[in-house]
Amino acid sequence: MILLDGKATAAAIRKELGEKVGILKSTTGKVPGLAVILAGEDPASAVYVRNKERACAEAGIVSKGYKLPASTTQEELEGLIRKLNEDDSVHGILLQLPVPQGLDSDRCLDLIDPDKDVDGFHPVSVGRLTLGLPGFRSCTPAGVMTLLDRYGLDVSGKKAVVIGRSNIVGKPLALMLLQRNATVTVCHSRTANLAEEVRSADFVFAAVGRPLFVTRDMVKDGAVVVDVGINRTDAGLVGDCDFKALESKVAAMTPVPGGVGPMTIAQLLINTVRSFEMKQGL
Ligand code: NDP
């Protein structure tokens, strides 16, 4: 089995981006900037934000953290986003979700300039993805595609099954796979014969949020399995797939942790550097 090592791949991407940003800095005199907004005290969000800031530093991207109290009003948050939209040193704006209760995250995401929407959540970005037009792609599914590319795994003409249909993972991932000419089936909580669907797949993408959901009998021999799930259990961090049971059956698989998670952050960096290049007309 080939281990699809997201941790190592993400580290290589950060290094490559660092070199690229160095060249861009010497030719333009400027560096890419990412604004990261964290409202409230959610501990998991704080960890994600810290990891993103650390990754930015490694890639030569200036990250500007905006930590707001849980008592922040909708007007204050919207005011900050408007200010960052106008700020020429900011090429990407990331609003860490979830926002505290009482704040309307959809309205905030709508306000982000689509040219700075490096998270790919703005309806314009989603529309561009759906139409196959250039634009920012949601980082987790785009990170999955980048990982497959790096391992030379081509989904064209293959049967892909995506388990999960969320707006941030399942749905955009299905569209990206379709764009790459896979034959795509999307499964969810109302799918009849889910195990049968998954068994027919050359590529399985699990984004369910349930520990060990994908078992050995659900996967065909030689399939490629990408586990997006991150579940905190008493046994530590586990994915949606039973890695140990699948290991001897599949052709390639991502581990959890160390698979899709680091690729999500790497993709955020890729999107931010791309946004910077576009701003410079490159
Ligand atoms: P959501 O909870 O938004 O979506 C889960 C999806 O799984 C839904 O479409 C749901 O179906 C489906 N589902 C739930 N239970 C079942 C079931 N028993 N049978 C079939 N389908 C089911 O989760 P997200 O998409 O946000 O995240 C999925 C997982 O990926 C989570 O573990 C999350 O932590 C992880 N994640 C990892 C990231 C990373 O960077 N690696 C980034 C984002 C998420 P229905 O729509 O019918 O309810």
**pLDDT tens digit at each of 282 positions of the chain:** 999 999 999 999 999 999 999 999 999 999 999 999 999 999 999 999 999 999 999 999 999 999 999 999 999 999 999 999 999 999 999 999 999 999 999 999 999 999 999 999 999 999 999 999 999 999 999 999 999 999 999 999 999 999 999 999 999 999 999 999 999 999 999 999 999 999 999 999 999 999 999 999 999 999 999 999 999 999 899 999 999 999 999 999 999 999 999 999 999 999 999 999 999 999
Give me ligand 1 centre to Cα 189, in Å.
10
Q: Which pLDDT score, from 0 to 100, does residue 213 have?
A: 98
ipTM summary value: 0.99
Residue 232 near ligand 1, beta carbon < 6 Å = no
The one-letter amino acid at 29 = G
Do residues 90 and 33 make contact, with C-beta atoms less than 8 angstroms apart? yes
Q: Which domains does the chain have, with CATH numbers?
A: 29-113 (3.40.50.10860), 139-261 (3.40.50.720)
For residue 164, say whether it is annotated as part of any ligand binding site.
yes
- Model confidence over 171-215: pLDDT tens digits? 999 999 999 999 999 999 999 999 999 999 999 999 999 999 999
As a dihedral over the C-alpha atoms of residue 25, residue 26, residue 27, residue 31, rounded to 10 degrees, the angle is 10
Residue 228 near ligand 1, beta carbon < 6 Å = yes
**Catalytic residue among 5, 117, 119, 242, which?**
119
Q: Which pLDDT score, from 0 to 100, does residue 150 have?
A: 98
The one-letter amino acid at 71 = S
For residue 6, say whether it is annotated as part of any ligand binding site.
no
Structure tokens given for 88: 């020429």
Q: Cβ of 237: how many Cβ atoms within 10 Å? A: 14
What CA–CA distance (Å, rounded) separates 91 from 136?
12
What is the pTM (predicted TM-score) of this model? 0.97
What CA–CA distance (Å, rounded) separates 273 from 31?
9
For residue 230, say whether it is annotated as part of any ligand binding site.
yes
